[in-house]
Amino acid sequence: MAFSDNLQFLRAHRGQTQEQLAEALEVSRQSVSKWESAQSFPEMDTLLRICDLYSVTLDALMRGSVEDSLVEDTARYDSFMNGFSKRMAFAIGGIIAGVGLSLLMKARGIPEHLIGAFLLLVIAVCVVVIVASSLQNANFRKAHPTIVDFYTEQEKQAFRQKFVWFIAGGVGALLFDVALLLVLSPAGEPYESYAVSIFLMIVAGAVTSFVYAGIQEEKYKIDEYNRDNNPTPEAKKRIGLINTICGTLMMVTTALYVGLGLALNLWRTAWWVFAVAGILCTVVHIVLNPYRNED
């Protein structure tokens, strides 16, 4: 394919008009029209801006077929993100599930020291998975700071349909969970402990669904992936600050929960600190997001 054909394909693939492309490149619409009709070629700095805009190489733009390059996942990005989303979702949900299982063990009369050891083991494994997965994600981004958008519109639309069910299913599970808790709690012990345990297990499943769906949704936002991996100095500082605050917040929350459990035997009721930490972390992301106005 010639440069003119490649440019037309890229613009159409992105859903841009000639006017929108011209505005992005700070040139006239007539210039874009001449490039696409092979009447002229842009200057080198403009060519490089086109490469950055569409995440393609200069060689593919000028001499190759960008259509072929866009359908190839050479970095195995899709496979990596699928594994990453599963590990993070199950690790985060696993912490909540561990609390639920510990309450079930208590209701069955298992000694407190064994319950505490079990819960610490679950939390330790989940935290290790979260930290390791986060480091792997950071290393992948460093190795592949730019990814071509190889997903077709049909693939994106298919996931949007699944995303609705992930979120709706999680919300439905939580509503059922609350109703079940209200029914079983007045029955007294051990049914109350069983009810709270089941409640937390269902919450764990819903949270797992939410986290997995959220990361999968982000997977298809290749433009944001490329933008985040090539941030401005100011954006880089903001992102670093967000990661530091949220990481510290989760470590403090885990330490607080374990401390309340060991010192005051609040294993059963102190789980809410994780929900508060999650909300605070979300607020931090919203307030400090360097791309808040763009998004």
pLDDT tens digits, one per residue of 221-230: 888 888 888 7
- Whether pLDDT at 71 is above 70: no
* Residue 221 shares a structural domain with residue 103: yes
Which tokens is 18 given? 């000639």
pLDDT tens digits, one per residue of 257-291: 878 877 887 766 776 787 788 788 888 888 888 77
* Residue 122 shares a structural domain with residue 261: no
The burial class, CB within 10 Å (0-12 / 13-18 / 19+), for 53 is middle
Domain limit, last residue, from 32, 47, 70: 70
Q: Is the pTM of this model over 0.85?
A: no
* Residue 165 shares a structural domain with residue 279: no
Q: Provide the CA 214 distance to its chain's centre, in angstroms.
A: 5
CA–CA dist 167, 170 (Å, integer): 5
Residues ≥6 apart with Cβ < 8 Å to 115: 102, 105, 106, 267
* Residue 99 shares a structural domain with residue 66: no
Q: How confident is the model at residue 68 (pLDDT cuts 50, 70, 90)?
A: low
* Residue 209 shares a structural domain with residue 137: yes
CA–CA dist 156, 143 (Å, integer): 25
pLDDT tens digits, one per residue of 219-260: 998 888 888 887 777 877 888 888 889 888 888 888 888 788
Domain limit, last residue, from 211, 229, 247: 229
* Residue 109 shares a structural domain with residue 204: yes
Domain limit, last residue, from 37, 70, 103: 70
pLDDT tens digits, one per residue of 3-58: 888 888 888 877 788 898 888 888 998 999 999 888 888 888 888 888 888 777 78
Q: What is the CATH number of the domain that holds 7?
A: 1.10.260.40
CA–CA dist 122, 257 (Å, integer): 13
Domain interval for residue 247: 231-295
What separation in angstroms does the CA of 255 have from each of 114, 235, 244, 277? 19, 30, 17, 12
Whole-number pLDDT of residue 267:
66
Q: How many residues does the chain have?
A: 295
Percent of the chain with pLDDT over 90: 23
